Amino acid sequence: MPDRSNPGKAKHIRQIPHVVPSPPHHEGRNVMHAPVLVLNASYEPINICAARRAIVLVLKGVAMTEEENGHYLHAARIAMRVPSVIRLLEYRRIPHQTRALSRKNILLRDRNTCQYCGKSLPSSELTLDHVVPRSRGGLSTWENLVACCHSCNRSKGNQLSSEAGMKLLREPRAFSLHTSRHIMRMLGRSDAKWRKYLFY
Ligand SMILES: [Zn+2]
């Protein structure tokens, strides 16, 4: 029913509470609670929300579906695929406080893996390497710090990785703490479709 008292609002939002998952899937209401990865307009992962919320954002025109989770949603006048990944259409500024730069968070971002030799090690056996050494003006930033094993750290010394004949597994980038906490919690049951957005 159109909402006459509030003509500016998208009408289909009102139908969301009556949504039922499609019959071939027997996961009941869980389908609407399935986690959906939310990307900024820039494709940076910024949050995780329930499918129900993601569908509302898509129907409002705030976000678009990037990946689907294979389920259908049938409501009064809607038949749509349930998203697994959505992306905001407008860039949202994420406050810098959410990105605490710390040894712990760098190791978390790099998944406790030496970014030169690829060995996964306990935190106690990893150190932080300045990609551009401090002695050569390198800063302590998300983009210039990587997890590194002691052996690679010794070989690299005060050289650039190119001078030491070493290569980074991937370009280090800022990672939202908020997102990474969520991701760690959800990773076990998340969709394989998330991967390409999470570890870029
Ligand atoms: Zn190493």
Q: How far is CA 61 from the centre of its chain?
A: 21
Q: What average pLDDT does the structure give for the chain? A: 77
Is the pLDDT confidence value at 196 over 90? no
Greater model confidence, 115 or 110: 115
Q: With CA atoms as reference, report the closest residue to 193 among 103, 94, 68.
A: 68
- pLDDT for 181 beyond 50: yes
43 alpha carbon – ligand 1 mean position (Å):
30
Q: From the CB of residue 83, how many other CB atoms can be counted at a distance below 10 Å?
A: 27
Q: How far is the CA of 114 from the centre of ligand 1 (A)?
A: 5
Measured in Å, residue 168 CA sits from the centre of ligand 1 at 10
Answer whether residue 199 shows pLDDT above 80. Answer: no
Q: How far is the CA of 118 from the centre of ligand 1 (A)?
A: 6
Residue 15 has pLDDT above 80, yes or no: no
Least confident span in 52-56, 127-131, 190-194? 190-194
Query: The whole model's pTM is what?
Result: 0.46
| Chain segment 61-74, per-residue pLDDT in tens | 999 999 998 888 87
Please, which pLDDT band fits residue 179 given cuts at 50, 70 and 90?
Answer: low
3 band by pLDDT with thresholds 50, 70 and 90: very low
Residues with C-beta atoms within 5 A of ion ligand 1: 114, 116-117, 149, 152
For ligand 1, the distance from its centroid to the CA atom of residue 122, given in whole angstroms, is 12
Collapse the DSSP code of 94 into the 3-class scheme (helix H, G, I; strand E, B; otherwise coil) and give the result.
coil
Residue predicted with more confidence, 80 or 27: 80
Q: What is the reported pLDDT for 190?
A: 55
CB 166 within 8 A of CB 115: no
Phi, psi values for residue 20, rounded to 5°? -130, 145
Centre of ligand 1 from the C-alpha of residue 173, in Å: 19
What local confidence, expressed as pLDDT, does residue 74 receive?
78
Distance between Cα 108 and ligand 1 center (Å)? 16
Mean pLDDT of 155-160: 94
pLDDT tens-digit profile of 23-54?
444 445 578 888 888 888 988 777 778 899 99
Cα of 148 to ligand 1 centre, how many Å? 5
More confident: 102 or 16: 102
The Å distance, Cα 22 to ligand 1 centre, comes to 49
CA of 153 to the centre of ligand 1 (A): 7
> Ligand 1 centroid vs 71 CA: distance in angstroms?
42
How far is residue 5 from each of residues 1, 10, 12, 22, 166, measured CA to CA in Å?
Answer: 12, 12, 15, 32, 65
Provide the strand spans (E) within the chain: 20-21, 35-39, 45-50, 63-74, 79-88, 126-130, 145-149
Which of 170, 164, 128, 158 is CA-nearest to residue 146? Answer: 128
pLDDT at 77: 75
